[in-house]
């Protein structure tokens, strides 16, 4: 159970860091990096010619909230089992 909690929260914090990084990178720097990638990969050129937003480089908000809620619920259920309010089979 400790391993599951560890990896659940690792996923949460990686997603939070990723989202924060995307929000902090200035739009012009972001566009410059995208155009550099498009120059190196012929397959990506057509896709990156379209107007891109930072939002398309992050998971959906639904998936992000699911990761957050799962980590919180797993932690809460573990706490309830530790306090003998729920049976061990809950986990």
pLDDT digits (tens, 9 = 90+) for 12-35: 999 999 999 999 988 888 878 777
Q: Is the dihedral of CA 19, 21, 24, 27 positive or negative?
A: negative
Tell me the chain's radius of gyration from C-alpha atoms.
19
pLDDT at 41 over 90: no
| 7 or 26: which leads in pLDDT | 7
Q: What is the DSSP string of 45-57?
A: HHHHHS---GGGG
User: pTM for the complete prediction?
Assistant: 0.78
d(CA 35, CA 21): 18
d(CA 18, CA 57): 10
């Amino acid at each position: 159970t400790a391993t599951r909690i560890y990896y659940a929260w690792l996923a949460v914090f990686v997603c939070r860091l990723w989202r924060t990084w995307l929000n902090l990178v200035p739009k012009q720097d972001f566009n410059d990096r995208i155009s550099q990638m498009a120059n190196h990969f012929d397959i990506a050129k057509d896709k990156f010619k379209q107007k891109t937003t930072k939002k398309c480089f992050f998971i959906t908000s639904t998936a992000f909230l699911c990761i957050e809620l799962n980590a919180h619920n797993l932690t809460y259920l573990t706490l309830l089992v530790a306090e003998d309010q729920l049976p061990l089979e809950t986990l």
